Amino acid sequence: MDTTLLADTDYPLLNIFWTMLELFLWVLWFFLLFKIITDIFRSHDLSGWGKAGWLVLVILLPLIGVLVYLIARGQSMTKRDIEQAQETQAAFKSYIRDAAASGPDGGGGRSHVDDLAKLADLKDKGAITEEEYQQAKAKILA
């Protein structure tokens, strides 16, 4: 008896595609479930009891709970996603501004680059001489 022929026809190609579709739908389902649970906890307009109720509904009756949640609160999910993205971007920009303002030495004041730019500007305007510029530059870089 030839076992390799039996193994080749044991799982037809259509069953492979069906299995891949089922796997994809499971991954999609879990992604949607985690997205909704995250949205429940992040929602500021729900009370603690409201969050608990939605969570119980989504966990105990997952298909019905997820569909009802999407119908009832689907548009507000998008608004909360946008608000969170804007808050994250604002926090990132604030961090960048604070980091750039602190300068390379970690202090809260001006950086050496700012001081050198002001010195160069003073020299260009003729307020200080080349010798004074070089002395002040050496002092800043030391």
At residue 125 the predicted structure's pLDDT band, cuts being 50, 70 and 90, is confident
**What does the pLDDT average to over 63-72?**
92
Residues 98 and 111 in one domain: no
Residues 43 and 91 in one domain: yes
Q: What pLDDT, in 10s, does the model give residues 34-62?
A: 999 999 998 988 999 999 999 999 999 98
At residue 5 the predicted structure's pLDDT band, cuts being 50, 70 and 90, is low
Closest CA to 79 of 29, 50, 44, 48: 44
pTM value is 0.56
In the chain, the number of structural domains is 2
Residues 93 and 138 in one domain: no
What is the structure's pLDDT at 140? 81
Domain span at residue 113? Answer: 105-142
Please state, rounded to an integer, the average pLDDT across all residues of the chain. 84
Residues 137 and 74 in one domain: no
